[in-house]
A and B are shown apart, each in its own frame.
Chain A
Amino acid sequence: MNRYKILSWAAFVISIVLLILPRIIPICTGIMGNGNPMHCHYAYQAEFIVTLLAVILSASLFVLRTHEARLLASFVAFLLGIIVIILPQPWAIGICENGACLKTTFFETIGGSILAITGLLIALLTHKAQSEEVK
Chain B
Amino acid sequence: MTLNRFLIVAFLVFSFGIVILFNGLNRAPLRYMEMDPNTPHKMGHSSQLQSDVDILQKRS
Contacts and interface: CB of A to CB of B under 8 A. Distances in A.
A90 B13 CA distance: 31
Interface stretch (A3-11, A41-49, A111-119): A41-49
Q: Report whether over half of chain B's contact residues are helix, strand or loop; otherwise say mixed.
A: loop
Contacts of A90: 44-45
Contacts of B44: 39, 90, 94-97
Interface stretch (A24-32, A79-87, A122-130): A24-32
Contacts of B18: 49, 52
A96 B42 contact: yes
Among B31, B41, B52, the one with the most A-chain Cβ atoms within 10 Å of its Cβ is: B41
Interface string B8-47: 0010011001100100001111111101000011111100
A13 interface: no
Nearest to B28: A26
Interface residues of B, number: 31
A56 interface: yes
11 contacts: A29-B33, A30-B32, A33-B51, A39-B45, A48-B21, A52-B13, A56-B14, A59-B6, A63-B1, A90-B44, A95-B44
B33 to A, nearest CB: 4
